[in-house]
Amino acid sequence: MAGQGTPATALLAKRKINHSTHPYDVSPDAPNYGALVAAALGVPPERVFKTLVCEVDGALTVAVVPVTGELDLKALAAAAGGKRAAMADRTAAERATGYVRGGISPLGQRKRLPTVVDASALAQPTVYVSAGRRGLQLQLSPTDLVDLTGAVTAPLATA
């Protein structure tokens, strides 16, 4: 798709990783945004993952969790080898990743941050994550997502 390139899609193309892009039209301010994105894409919501930038013991860390659940900050801290986790400041998250809120991709970030992917991703044939732009998702295998981000996997989401 012309005009759809982002640092995330460029990384996938450079590494020759099998993926596809999927545009959608959902307001980033809509309540239950993740479920609406899944519905717009016509895929089960447990296959759509949100990228959250957090701080674990003061260090920026990325959590990738299904849109069907909430991030368990204690589980993130434990998985990242820390004691305490909190959501990162929006400006710090945007500056470190090079993406805007609502379009932060776990791939192709300006500064590669430690990443933890919810273990449920590994049970899916493919997962959807932000392509680095609001209104655009990437579909790829969960193992490629973990490999490309250097992530660890752990149960992070609460129902």
Residue 2 has pLDDT above 80, yes or no: no
Mean pLDDT across the stretch 56-84? 97
Q: What percent of the chain has pLDDT over 70?
A: 97
Looking at residue 21, what is its pLDDT? Answer: 96
Centroid of chain to Cα 143: 14
Please state, as a whole number, how many other Cβ atoms lie within 10 Å of the Cβ of residue 92: 12
Instruction: Strands of 29-126 (E only): list them.
Output: 49-56, 59-66, 70-71, 85-87, 115-118
pLDDT in tens, 112-135: 999 999 999 999 999 999 999 999
Looking at residue 29, what is its pLDDT? Answer: 83
Looking at residue 102, what is its pLDDT? Answer: 86
Element at 38 (helix H, strand E):
helix 33-41
Neighbouring C-alpha atoms within 13 Å toward the C-beta of 56: 21
Rounded distance between C-alpha atoms, residue 85 and residue 76, angstroms = 7
Mean pLDDT across the stretch 33-39? 93
Residue 93 has pLDDT above 70, yes or no: yes
pLDDT in tens, 12-32: 999 999 999 999 999 878 888
Looking at residue 31, what is its pLDDT? Answer: 86
Residue 1 has pLDDT above 60, yes or no: no
